[in-house]
Structure 1
């Protein structure tokens, strides 16, 4: 090799193994969100404990964002939607929020939790410091609903179910009127009513809130015509009753968008639907592009039951719930996706590469501008070795992109390690460490429930440099996302354990993101999409692309509106049945391939005629 080539190679190696600062200037995030999900505090399923979070509401109040969720003894605050700090309220009468609702009105932040028995409505003008007061100690009873006393004893029967469960609050800025939406059932609809919410009242708290109209049924599931509303994994459980829940309302361009979650939070196909109206209480029309938020494939599956909000720059975001279900059926996490509306009123949520790193914009996004970083998955099915493993929980499970399988070390002692061999020396830009709860034995909160580890990188497996040091972390990070401030060309990533506040050290996946040198894969050929005899379904197949890591099957109402995505990995069949279509709606289908270099051009489009 010429002398100048030797010098160049030595310089490249020196750069590659130089110390790398981690997350000093983080501008990206990856789903599931990196927050300290709380351990469920009740004893469930023979004392199985687990971290969980679901049914997220993010609201902007003042110069900060606040995240409320199911199963938490407080909430989170962020100034940038990237870094979240837990807030422990000084006055918190709830025994854990369930599917809460928020409202910003008259300079106040209101919080309502799901209820079957009388519950309070809380208000704050200083949520950053956890200061809350009662707007009313007990919500007024829903007219015509079955009511229970606080001990759960039946008090009054009515034609409506007790509630409001899964509430959603909305204030129409045009006239200041406030509306309540609610419902969570496999047989009952979403209800709505106008509230008489006297925001400037100086009277006693009992006179500050009342129902101004009788509740009315607004939305019903129609799985016979809406394929995505069918129950089960990939909608395969036929006509078994599914759930409609999680109301959320937005207003855009003078129209009202009432959103809901279906068909069930415990499945990969949990999505968000929307009905549209010209008035807050309807009548509502089903949107033909439903489900508007849908993520059935990939690492973090599920996108239903969340909120839609605008950031400080006017960009719209949609939150949702992704499913784990290892320790308990309702073990879940929180996801967040870019969203918005087209000029003609069509709502969209972008879940394409929804669990790969995304940019957090510092400006108003242009029409069609993506938040996807282009950082590809480098770790899929790569060789992983560990210092120790329990039987049936080998290190190989760390790179399978399945959060329901996991490696377990023999001890939870500092010094246990896992090493992932990327097979080459791609440019590494981010790492996500996803912990699992295997016989964790924890409930509630405690000072030792913190996550501490070090990430090291190497080009040869002999000389190591620290690329992230969380050995002094003071918070729990079940889905720790680390963005490298300086990208590094590395072959090996090593996790060095320090501490986790659980009985066992268990990790489901170590996900490495960046780019390998080379061309993106070729566009897939041979795409065929045929609508089934059951027109809620279509069979889609294509020819495999050499070297592909996976594919995004994309569909929508037009070639420039392929907003729905089903991510498939290359070791899965190149054909499957899509069961989420609406009867009588014409679709356009296309597919793209991706690998460690990038994303292919989109294939030719194929039409699925309306049937």
Structure 2
């Protein structure tokens, strides 16, 4: 009988301990956010999302296994961008970040709004590493206007030529534009004329596999079940594009998958896609609330085309 209080005390201590561990545990497979870029280095994974809870700053999320994610360091804030108020708009927002490693350094590209009534802009910051901190370059890289929205930057360094390309644009104008960056990665060299591929809306991303270049992008309205990921292939980073179809689209459980990034994980040799989606929604939309980020493996057929995925 005298041992019962001791056992109860031990059980209570274990319960408190397990509760504390659970409180500090990483987030599950999906977490609130949108427009993710995904990177890997040194046995860790990094996701750079638009923060659904606010757009005044950008953060990194980190993981050791691609399944459990923790919110990490703040990378950059609106008040750290000196040119942010040059357009005279009363409010601004940051979204759609893209982290790139080139020349042994790290660069963070991002969208700056509003898109109306002033043109949206694309900025770039130099970063100390995958987890920042990041320092703005001091000027916008691209400014929209004349029907073009400067949004959703994605930088691809061609493994064959080492040339850095910037892909951007979409939404209301639904136009894709591509530029070559100078070696400093924060200055435009020149624009390269490209065709806008079929069903393009926004969120372009480029990756290369086996000498084939894959241009993937979002199509449809991001707040509706029409949002989905399509892709085209080409023999070069700038086309000509051969349209290949859809990669992922809405299903009974998840709606509006899009604005994604691909990762080739050298740890297991597989390819993965990070994307956002609406969870717990029904009907065609428009949806409200926060979107969630998810990561899934991608498979290729023998002819190099991508096998469409089912969301899980």
Q: What's the TM-score, normalizing by structure 2? A: 0.73
Structure 1 runs (4+) deviating above 4 angstroms are 116-119, 324-328
Tell me the equivalent position of 2:273.
318
Structure 2 residue corresponding to 1:66, chosen from 15, 33, 46: 46
The answer on 1:301 being equivalent to 2:255 is yes
Structure 2 residue corresponding to 1:133, chosen from 135, 153, 173: 135
Whole-angstrom distance in 2 between the partners of 1:277 and 1:346: 12
Whole-angstrom distance in 2 between the partners of 1:307 and 1:90: 19
Tell me the equivalent position of 1:175.
161
Summarize deviations over 1:496-540 as a string: whole Å, max 9, x none.
Answer: xxxxxxxxxxxxxxxxxxxxxxxxxxxxxxxxxxxxxxxxxxxxx
Summarize deviations over 1:188-233 as a string: whole Å, max 9, x none.
Answer: 32121222132xxxxxxxxx633222253432445xxxxxxxxxxx
Matched ranges for 1:217-296 at <5 A: 217-222=194-199, 244-287=201-244, 290-294=245-249, 296=250
Whole-angstrom distance in 1 between the partners of 2:197 and 2:211: 23
Matched ranges for 1:493-512 at <5 A: none
Larger of the two Rg values belongs to structure: 1
- Structure 2 gap segments, 5+ residues each: 1-14, 82-91, 113-118
Tell me the equivalent position of 1:450.
none
Q: Is the partner of 2:229 in helix, strand or coil? A: strand
The answer on 1:112 being equivalent to 2:112 is no
* Structural RMSD (CA): 3.1
Whole-angstrom distance in 2 between the partners of 1:301 and 1:247: 19
User: Quick one: structure 1 residues 123 and 209, their matched pair in 2 at CA, closer, same or farther if it must change by over 3 Å?
Assistant: closer
Q: Which has the higher strand share?
A: 2
The answer on 1:54 being equivalent to 2:28 is no
- Structure 1 gap segments, 5+ residues each: 1-18, 38-52, 147-158, 199-207, 223-242, 356-611
Q: What's the TM-score, normalizing by structure 1? A: 0.39
Q: Is the partner of 1:55 in helix, strand or coil? A: strand
Whole-angstrom distance in 2 between the partners of 1:80 and 1:112: 25
Tell me the equivalent position of 1:101.
98
Q: How far off its partner does 1:340 sit?
A: 2.9
Whole-angstrom distance in 2 between the partners of 1:329 and 1:197: 41
Summarize deviations over 1:544-576 as a string: whole Å, max 9, x none.
Answer: xxxxxxxxxxxxxxxxxxxxxxxxxxxxxxxxx
User: Quick one: structure 1 residues 246 and 119, their matched pair in 2 at CA, closer, same or farther if it must change by over 3 Å?
Assistant: closer
Q: How far off its partner does 1:273 sit?
A: 0.6
Whole-angstrom distance in 1 between the partners of 2:191 and 2:65: 40
Summarize deviations over 1:64-110 as a string: whole Å, max 9, x none.
Answer: 21111113541211121122121232753376531222212223232
Q: How far off its partner does 1:314 sit?
A: 1.6
